[in-house]
Amino acid sequence: MTDFRFELLAQDGEARTGVIHTPRGEIRTPAFMPVGTAATVKAMLPQSVRETGADILLGNTYHLMLRPGAERIARLGGLHKFMDWQRPILTDSGGFQVMSLSALRKISEEGVKFQSHIDGHEEFLSPERAMAIQRLLGSDIQMVFDECPALPATHGAIEKSMALSMRWAKRSKDAFGEQSEEERRGRACFGIVQGGTFTDLRVRSAQALKEIGFDGYAVGGLAVGEPQSAMFETLEATVPHLPADRPRYLMGVGKPSDIVGAVLRGIDMFDCVLPTRSGRNGQAFTWDGPLNLRNARHAEDQEPLDAACRCPACRSYSRAYLHHVVKAGEIIASMLLTAHNLTFFQDVMRTLREAIADGRAASFAAQFLLRYGGSEAPDG
Amino acid sequence: MTDFRFELLAQDGEARTGVIHTPRGEIRTPAFMPVGTAATVKAMLPQSVRETGADILLGNTYHLMLRPGAERIARLGGLHKFMDWQRPILTDSGGFQVMSLSALRKISEEGVKFQSHIDGHEEFLSPERAMAIQRLLGSDIQMVFDECPALPATHGAIEKSMALSMRWAKRSKDAFGEQSEEERRGRACFGIVQGGTFTDLRVRSAQALKEIGFDGYAVGGLAVGEPQSAMFETLEATVPHLPADRPRYLMGVGKPSDIVGAVLRGIDMFDCVLPTRSGRNGQAFTWDGPLNLRNARHAEDQEPLDAACRCPACRSYSRAYLHHVVKAGEIIASMLLTAHNLTFFQDVMRTLREAIADGRAASFAAQFLLRYGGSEAPDG
């Protein structure tokens, strides 16, 4: 059986391309992970997700612990079998959703008490419980439990929160290490750098995580409303302090221009609901920027979204058809636009990997941004 | 190019099996037509519909005329191209939906004035307009425009309505005949028998249609709330008066036991929203009767819906997974249960065709009903 291993294939400036080897398959980096919140990538069958080019999915600990429950999924043979996705799965630790979705949170050194957003029942998450849930799910890449402070916040507040997250990171790693060797084999545990946009805190957080030692290093707490320039500056201050031989994951990012810019700054992995959620809202990503299919100008447009795209929407349908099914609220609109958007994101990643391998990452990024446009707002 | 032609392969009692040859492909009968209301079989891609075994879809004139509009679909190359379904399409004439969906109907000898249920704008349907719309859509089997009276109604009211429908049938046929020979080639026009559950009116209606002469004969105005026995009695009184060498179509039917009973009474074609709509509501059809996946007893059931079924839901998922995604309101629940239900309906049709060819239609029907159960209500 293959162990978890990151193989760096080429570097171009700070940008890197490589392969993460896992027992469940290879993950080509830079990688985009579609989000499979509740044991499904919304509006997609797993086979269709794979056909977009995805090597790995993200599952949400918070959602799955509430419904259908981690112990239940374990009894049913684990998340891969449950949702029919045999390739790698990364699970977050629930920390972010506890902050953004649940009610009546109470944070202590021990963990977080909160109420389910589904039915209000009381739940508890701690580093130990978050890792236990990820083990029950059978996750290939397990994330440490961290606190995600609300922004804006003072240096003092972020420092305190980061310090707590680092203590939780140590407890998470210890809990991961206490799994049996057989269970752990080929599975990875990633730390999460916190510290807001304060570069001194980011550096301290990165150093604290390196001392604990992880299979990969994530950057959390970004893309929460700060300007893109602040995100990029934070990455520039953080990435040099992360080990070069481990994958780097920018959590919850993002827009295509965010991804391209973060890859240039040394990030290897991404996840975001943007392609799936936008697809359900009638928005399509293209190399010429986003389109809103609801717009009446598409009503008699016989052209596909993108004649060069290999997705089911572009192979078989006109923009006029997509406009019609978006307006009519038909499920096929969500299915086709989600498939298209995930294909687009994977094609961006593939093109980035090729550009890095060829030593032309910066010129590709410049050309991409020129054509895609500075604004991420759909054309209406 | 093949003309429209019905080939009878075998008869067993009143039950028949055959093939309708059309330029766009063969339709094996008895046939079940999935409903593609608004240019999509809800929650399905056309390729997946085909994989269930469907030879032909039904499209709704009423829905398509309102959105996106028949002229628009014609400019976009016709309904087949628009929705990416290259096999035969039957379109209804809009008469039924005008009665069931629109507001402020005003019926005259000329036709029906009504308000769109989408935005309230005024529309008009007549035999001539209904046939023009079906021609614009490029429909392979075009239905005459008929009046669908609300039930219950007196013999006198139904007689008057039926007589109007017969005059409209003549005008519809004339309008169909005025299409150019090239346009009409390989396309069919079906008449619709009306008359409620009054057998004398049904016989007169059938005779009136035969005098006009159609490529196929539908039975309309049934399965609108009357007991199954009344529907079967009406079929028994009607079918003998229909030409044996033309396909017979029972509109809007139905439950599996309705279909099996109607096939035994000589019906060749069916359409119904039941498998698709039930799928979106968490209901699954099985040979042992319907199941409600919302029921908590499925929560940890590792078995598939039907181990012998070839659909994507049964090949890859447990009942526990289906229960989870139904409860969570995930789109994949609609996708998987629709695919399963359409596969089940097509498997019932295939098994009926085989039983008729083997001369064991009656015994198959008896066994089917014994196992499926008398009640069509899901087990909860």
- Helices A155-177 + A127-137 axis angle, to 10: 50
Q: What is the model's pLDDT at position B330?
A: 98
Q: For the residues A29-40, what does the mean pLDDT come to?
A: 98
- The percent of residues in chain B predicted with pLDDT above 90, rounded, is 89
List Cβ neighbours of A346 (8 Å cut-off, separation of 6 or more): A32, A52, A53, A54
Catalytic residue among B55, B92, B140, B268: B92
Q: For the residues A144-170, what does the mean pLDDT come to?
A: 94
Identify which of A84, A318, A328 has the shortest CB distance to residue B67.
A328
Residues 83-102 (A) with a CB less than 8 A from some CB of B: 83-84
Indicate if the pLDDT at residue A323 is higher than 80.
yes
Are B335 and A75 an interchain contact pair (Cβ–Cβ within 8 Å)? no
Q: Are B218 and B193 in contact (CB under 8 A)?
A: yes
Are A324 and B39 an interchain contact pair (Cβ–Cβ within 8 Å)? yes
Chain A positions in Cβ-Cβ contact with residue B316 (cut-off 8 Å): 46, 84
Q: Are A342 and A54 in contact (CB under 8 A)?
A: yes
Q: What is the model's pLDDT at position B204?
A: 98
pLDDT in tens, B226-264: 999 999 999 999 999 999 999 999 999 999 999 999 999
pLDDT in tens, B18-43: 999 999 999 999 999 999 999 999 99
Q: What is the model's pLDDT at position A182?
A: 86
Task: Please choose, from the candidates A117, A119, A96, A115, the residue with its C-alpha nearest in 3D space to the C-alpha of residue A106.
Answer: A115
Q: What is the model's pLDDT at position B380?
A: 41
- Please say if A92 is a catalytic residue: yes
Determine the distance in angstroms separating the CA of A4 from the nearest CA of chain B, rounded to an integer: 27
pLDDT in tens, B41-77: 999 999 999 999 999 999 999 999 999 999 999 999 9
Are B330 and A40 an interchain contact pair (Cβ–Cβ within 8 Å)? yes
Catalytic residue among B55, B140, B215, B271: B271
The 3-state secondary structure of chain B reads CCCCEEEEEEEECCEEEEEEEECCEEEEECEEECECCCCCCCCCCHHHHHHCCCCCEEECHHHHHHCCCHHHHHHCCCHHHHHCCCCCEEECCCHHHHHHCCEEEEECCCCEEEECCCCCCEEEECHHHHHHHHHHHCCCEEECCCCCCCCCCCHHHHHHHHHHHHHHHHHHHHHHHCCCHHHHCCCEEEEEECCCCCHHHHHHHHHHHHHHCCCEEEECCCCCCCCHHHHHHHHHHHHHHCCCCCCEEECCCCCHHHHHHHHHCCCCEEECCHHHHHHHCCEECCCCCCEECCCHHHCCCCCCCCCCCCCHHHHHCCHHHHHHHHHCCCHHHHHHHHHHHHHHHHHHHHHHHHHHHCCCHHHHHHHHHHHHCCCCCCCC
Task: Please choose, from the candidates A48, A54, A49, the residue with its C-alpha nearest in 3D space to the C-alpha of residue A33.
Answer: A54
Query: Which pairs count as long-range contacts for A125-128, CB under 8 Å and 24+ apart, including other chains?
Result: A125/A62, A125/A65, A125/A93, A125/A94, A125/A95, A125/A98, A126/A168, A126/A171, A127/A168, A127/A169, A127/A171, A127/A172, A127/A175, A128/A171, A128/A172, A128/A175
List Cβ neighbours of B5 (8 Å cut-off, separation of 6 or more): B20, B21
Are A84 and B317 an interchain contact pair (Cβ–Cβ within 8 Å)? yes
Q: What is the model's pLDDT at position A210?
A: 98
Are A67 and B328 an interchain contact pair (Cβ–Cβ within 8 Å)? yes
